[in-house]
């Protein structure tokens, strides 16, 4: 397997990185702004003394984090993929953490090869914000009816037109997406909402979370979700939850590329 | 009790705050630099339309965090202490989190009334740094012999001259301090070292941690600690652990002021 990869035409590297979104204007390159893509490209270009263009599994908005963003780039030559992570760890700023890298054939594309993605949204429910989580959670003190939120979430599972649950300015014509899983993970003062799907529209997870919180706070009924979906009207769903609670949690590729890039049980 | 406090001469407020030290040049006011003390004073002065001077339980160095820093200040008038926390929560930057406040008599002083303090130092032992903890932990991958570290720590308990375990430039003449407790709290990939003492010299906890890590990595013997203490020579102890792993964890006052300001079991 390793041999057949080495024999393929290009030298394509897949790199998995985590980042703290607070200091970035999102993933995608933008002139004059600090972005994750530009940071990776500049670091790799300096490190390898050749211009490197990086392709991500998708954008993340300003302020959104990633536990597992996937990028790929092509190299004319360079250190072996495993060694690259150690070199990058010393060269990248502290808020971009390279996790692992491997060499892949040029049939792999960080974005087009994606099968599923998982996002996690973290709510912190303590009376005061939590020092260790304030950068990574939405502080929602007060009563939250988690059972009602679970009921509401069930209506979102499956294949739907998510026009009501994305930014009005979403560029894509086709708003049909599939959600495979919405899990609620509770621990003291924390509620993590994991959403796994085929792909996500702009602000989609944040609007889903804003709507679920509205249900949890008793300002919307769980059984109203089907009508909100059917109306295809953004104004009917809840507010857009703030970006700093959101984290790109996992990316899944076909089995020949190893499936999920992070073990779902991993402590990263 | 509440009545007798209100009848005392001044209107002294005790305020407990947490902060993320990454964005501050330490606690203590310094001209032209962002510090926690200046941030609190400016916010309170604007909020109360009268100049407020804030006294802390002690300094924390640049980059060091606090889960529970205590300050006091005197007010000519103003909202009740409990209400002040809610107002401050909306006015302070996100990296300073007010936890609670109460009114105290003017016999209370944030610094001079301290009985004990607890610092916590967090080590992260995973192969890659942890996204959610990189701001609050020292990344120490590789083998660490925690049992040897525990053995070494026992020699530091009690009353000692800590000249070998503080910055050479420490201004205090008297380097004798008492350590009451050094606990090792292990969880997957994490090792928290809690140090409770009568008071701490400059860099003292960080040098203790640097030395314990040196023992854990087999570069120093646990039973060398008594000789290092006796030598009163900073050069014999280990390196100074980086500031971002350190957190002022709790402050204890006499029973009439409620003892520890944070429940040791609290999830803050």
Q: Taking a C-beta distance cutoff of 8 angstroms, is the pair B157, B194 a contact?
A: no
Q: Sign (positive/negative) of CA torsion B162, B163, B167, B172? A: positive
d(CA B70, CA B114): 10
Q: How far apart are CA B117 and CA B114, in angstroms?
A: 7
Interface of A with B (CB under 8 A): 18-20, 65, 67, 85, 89, 94-95, 97-100, 126, 128-136, 188-189, 247, 267-268
Evaluate if residue B98 carries a pLDDT over 70: yes
What is chain B's mean pLDDT, rounded?
A: 93
pLDDT (average), residues A211-231:
98
Q: How many CB atoms lie within 10 A of CB B56?
A: 22
Give CA–CA dist B221/B233, Å, rounded.
17
- Average pLDDT (B91-105) is 94
Q: Is A89 close to B20, i.e. CB distance below 8 A?
A: no
At what angle are helices B146-154 and B204-216 packed, to 10 degrees?
130
CA distance B19 to chain A (A): 7
- Quick check: B20 pLDDT over 90? yes
Q: Which residues of B are catalytic?
A: 61
pLDDT tens for A70-81 read: 999 998 876 788
Residue spans per domain, chain A: 2-113, 116-247
The pLDDT, as a whole number, for residue A6 is 42
Tell me the DSSP string of A2-70: HHHHHHSSS-EEEEEEEE-GGGSS-SS--TTS--HHHHHHHHHHHHHTS----EESS---TT-EEEEEE
Residue B133: closest CA among chain A residues belongs to which residue? A132
Query: Fold match between A2-113 and A116-247?
Result: yes
Provide the token pair at B160: 């000692």
Instruction: Please tell me which of the candidates B67, B94, B131 has its beta carbon nearest to residue A18.
Output: B131
Q: How many cross-chain Cβ pairs, A to B, lie less than 8 Å apart?
A: 69
Distance from CA of B249 to the nearest CA of A (A): 11
In CATH, the number for domain B116-247 is 3.30.70.660
Give pLDDT, residue A10. 66
Q: Token pair 């607070």 is at which residue? A: A22
- What is the average per-residue pLDDT within B188-203? 96
Q: How many beta carbons lie within 10 A of that of residue B82, not counting itself?
A: 11
Query: Is position A77 annotated in a ligand binding site?
Result: no
Cβ neighbours of A265 (radius 10 Å) = 5
Distances (CA, A) of A217 to A141, A147, A155: 10, 11, 18
- Residues A143-184 have pLDDT tens digits of 999 999 999 999 999 999 999 999 999 888 999 999 999 999
- The CATH architecture that domain A2-113 belongs to is 2-Layer Sandwich (3.30)
Complex ipTM value: 0.86
Q: Is the pLDDT of residue A1 over 80?
A: no
H-type helices in A105-231, by residue range?
A: 146-154, 204-216, 225-231
Interface contact flag, A268 B130, Cβ < 8 Å: yes
């Amino acid at each position: 397997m390793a041999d057949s990869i080495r024999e393929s035409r290009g030298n394509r590297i897949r790199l998995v990185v985590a980042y703290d979104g607070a200091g970035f204007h999102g993933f995608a390159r933008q002139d004059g702004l600090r972005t994750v893509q530009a940071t990776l490209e500049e670091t790799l270009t300096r490190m390898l003394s050749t211009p490197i263009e990086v392709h991500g599994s998708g954008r993340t908005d300003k302020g959104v984090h990633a536990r597992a963003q996937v990028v790929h780039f092509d190299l004319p030559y360079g250190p072996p993929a495993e060694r690259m992570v150690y070199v990058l760890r010393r060269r990248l700023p502290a808020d971009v953490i390279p996790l692992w890298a491997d060499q892949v054939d040029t049939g792999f594309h960080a974005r087009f090869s994606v099968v599923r993605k998982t996002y996690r949204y973290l709510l912190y429910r303590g009376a005061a914000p939590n020092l260790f989580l304030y950068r990574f959670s939405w502080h929602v003190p007060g009563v939250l009816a988690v059972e009602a939120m679970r009921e509401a979430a069930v209506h979102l599972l499956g294949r739907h037109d998510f026009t009501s649950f994305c930014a009005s300015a979403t560029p894509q014509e086709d708003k049909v997406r599939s959600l495979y899983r919405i899990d609620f993970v509770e621990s003291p003062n924390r509620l993590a909402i994991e959403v796994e799907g085929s792909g996500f529209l702009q602000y989609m997870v944040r609007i889903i979370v804003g709507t679920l919180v509205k249900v949890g706070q008793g300002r919307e009924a769980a059984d109203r979700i089907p009508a909100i979906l059917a109306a295809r009207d953004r104004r009917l769903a809840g507010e857009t939850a703030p970006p700093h609670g959101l984290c790109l949690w996992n990316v899944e590729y076909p089995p020949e590329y190893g499936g999920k890039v992070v073990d779902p049980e991993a402590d990263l």
